[in-house]
Amino acid sequence: MRKVILAAAAACALGAAASDPIITTAFTPDPAPYVHGDTIYLFVDHDEDDAQYFKMKDWLLYSSTDMVNWTFRGVPLSTEAFSWARDGDNAWAAQAVERDGKWYWYVCAEELARPGWHAIGVAVADRPEGPYSDGAGKPLASGILGFIDPSVFIDNDGQAWLFWGNNGLWYAPLAPDMVSLAAEFREVPGLNDPACFGPMRLKRDYATNTMMEKTNYEEGPWVFRRGDIYYIVYAAGGVPEHMAYSWARDINGPWTYGGRIMDEAPGSFTIHGGSIEAGGRNFMFTHNGMAPNGGGFRRATVIEEFEWQGDSIPFIPQTTGRIRGIATLDPYSRVEAETMAESYGLKTDRTAGTEHYITRVHNGDWLCVRDVDFGTSAPAALDMAFAAVKDGGLVEVYLDRPGGPLLARVTAAPDSQELEYSTAVLPDASQATGVHDVYLLFRSDSDGELFDVDWWKFTK
């Protein structure tokens, strides 16, 4: 794709903006965060924009080093990768892990051989962005209704475990190859004991298709270890779901019910997610239905910070607004345009690989990048790359808020055929020091699409 590089002189100051949900260019349910070095990878499902039921074709990937600005890393995996799965739908909750330089993405998908039944599979890649391929060539576990929502966990002794289930909870050790089970799967001990998984409730049992008393556990396990204690965080209580947890001192149990830790998700009858530690702080990822045009079948990832109470997970209120980041963003290194804390009207491409951009840009759309650290001296220029120019228009770059101090005005002429450079000398350059939020506002007289933006970078 042809690129147009534009340069514009810049000047810059301090700001604040809320970003909850954290991604607004796509619907991102069932978040599965994974910390790898100084990067947080966010593996998510993908509710289609027009979904009226669970309409989910593929899985998406995002990453961040600061917990507030998230970069779209593409569509690394879809149901098409699995020859045994129905293609084009039922790409439900999944979780990934890295081991020995390989990435293993554990998924659930509908079996071709048994329509309406799901199975657990695994895709493997050399890098988190893929390309991924079916690691086993067949399901890892199948044959029982409710085989969805896999959670993978590698214990301190190197043994990897896989948990999964809706209307039931099963587990098995993974073999060293990470693409097969080392033993037969079995039901988690104590699943039907309220001391282990919470109060009994009247539910439909899938195996018998009858109503019966079952424990609080519903679906979506998230399994991890902290110190000498194992934890399972899960959706609980039937529909609408809340979040609860159980704990044990051995991966095989006995498990003890720990209680409710999060109420029902606003705008969504499901809840699903998991926790990580990053920057010395603890965060719970989950989803709700509060993004624009959101709802129970169009859900978005949100993050809540919490503090452990000894060995207990506290009750975590669901708040609005921004979380405090764990780092700042360097504007003097290339910043992908698909990196943002908040946006309006924009979409990202829908491709695999490592090259991505923002698209469907119209007049009045915008994005915000938070906690941008300009350092002690102001920048001199702004470089911006366009993956494609359509009707063309302006990119206005502001400090702290739309209409705040103007950093730059970049022009993208329609039908540009060659590299084009534009430079503008702007006032108030002295304000471009320290940490600020930066807004990119897109302007044009056209009602059509303006351009696709690839990346930007400030220079001294």
Share of the chain above pLDDT 90, in %: 85
Over the stretch 285-326, which tens digit does the pLDDT of each residue have?
999 999 999 999 999 999 999 999 999 999 999 999 889 999
Over the stretch 162-181, which tens digit does the pLDDT of each residue have?
999 999 999 999 999 999 99
Mean predicted confidence (pLDDT) in 424-448? 85
CA dihedral 159, 244, 48, 20 (to 10 degrees): -110
CATH superfamily for domain 4-15+327-459 = Galactose-binding domain-like (2.60.120.260)
Find all residues with CB under 8 Å of 110, minimum gap 6, and list them.
85, 86, 89, 90, 116, 117, 118, 119
Over the stretch 67-76, which tens digit does the pLDDT of each residue have?
999 999 999 9
Question: 421, exposed or middle or buried, with CB in 10 Å at 0-12, 13-18, 19+?
Answer: exposed
Mean predicted confidence (pLDDT) in 46-59? 96
Mean predicted confidence (pLDDT) in 39-65? 97
Closest CA to 191 of 252, 269, 263: 252
Q: What does the pLDDT read at residue 374?
A: 96
Check: CB of residue 361 under 8 Å from CB of residue 449. yes
Between residues 25 and 420, the one the model is more confident about: 25
Q: Do domains 4-15+327-459 and 32-306 have the same CATH topology?
A: no
Cα–Cα separations (whole angstroms), residue 67 to 94, 172, 325, 444: 21, 32, 5, 32
Over the stretch 206-220, which tens digit does the pLDDT of each residue have?
888 899 999 999 999
**Type of residue found at 36:** H
Find all residues with CB under 8 Å of 403, minimum gap 6, and list them.
none
Q: Which helix (H) or strand (E) covers residue 197, if one does? A: helix 194-197
pLDDT bracket for residue 429 (50, 70, 90): low
Q: What does the pLDDT read at residue 220?
A: 98
Closest CA to 151 of 91, 99, 92, 221: 221
Q: What does the pLDDT read at residue 414?
A: 83
Check: CB of residue 142 under 8 Å from CB of residue 119. yes
Between residues 141 and 413, the one the model is more confident about: 141
Looking at residue 10, what DSSP letter applies? -
pLDDT bracket for residue 427 (50, 70, 90): low
For CA atoms 127, 368, 271, 45, the dihedral sign is: negative
Between residues 11 and 381, the one the model is more confident about: 381
Residue entry with tokens 């100051």: 13
Residue entry with tokens 């669901």: 318
Over the stretch 77-91, which tens digit does the pLDDT of each residue have?
999 999 999 999 999
Q: What does the pLDDT read at residue 16?
A: 27
The third-level CATH classification (topology) of the domain covering 32-306 is: Tachylectin-2; Chain A (2.115.10)
Beta bridge partners of 415: none
Look at strands 58-64 and 39-44 and give their pairing.
Answer: antiparallel
Find all residues with CB under 8 Å of 238, minimum gap 6, and list them.
201, 203, 218
Q: Is 144 helix (H, G, I), strand (E, B) or coil?
A: coil
Q: What does the pLDDT read at residue 13?
A: 29
Taking the CA of residue 276 as centre, how many other CA atoms within 13 Å lie in the half-sphere pointing to its CB? 20
Q: What does the pLDDT read at residue 279?
A: 96
Q: What does the pLDDT read at residue 416?
A: 61
Average pLDDT, the chain: 92
Q: Is 63 helix (H, G, I), strand (E, B) or coil?
A: strand
Whether the per-residue pLDDT at 204 is higher than 90: the answer is no
- In the chain, where the domains are located: 4-15+327-459, 32-306
Evaluate if pTM is beyond 0.75: yes
Over the stretch 140-161, which tens digit does the pLDDT of each residue have?
999 999 999 999 999 999 999 9
pLDDT bracket for residue 8 (50, 70, 90): very low
Beta bridge partners of 375: none
pLDDT bracket for residue 21 (50, 70, 90): very high
Query: CA angle 339-340-341, nearest 5°?
Result: 145
Distance of CA 262 to the CA centre of its chain: 19
Over the stretch 180-190, which tens digit does the pLDDT of each residue have?
999 999 999 99
Whether the per-residue pLDDT at 449 is higher than 60: the answer is yes
Phi then psi for residue 306, to 5 deg, are -145, 165
Give CA–CA dist 139/148, Å, rounded.
12
Q: What does the pLDDT read at residue 417?
A: 52
Q: What does the pLDDT read at residue 422?
A: 55
Look at strands 151-154 and 160-164 and give their pairing.
Answer: antiparallel
DSSP 306-369: E--BTTBPPP-----SPPPPSS-B-TTS-EETTEESEEES-EE----SS---EE---TT-EEEE
Q: Is 196 helix (H, G, I), strand (E, B) or coil?
A: helix
Q: What does the pLDDT read at residue 14?
A: 29
Cα–Cα separations (whole angstroms), residue 272 to 226, 236, 450: 20, 10, 37
Between residues 233 and 3, the one the model is more confident about: 233
Look at strands 274-278 and 256-262 and give their pairing.
Answer: unpaired
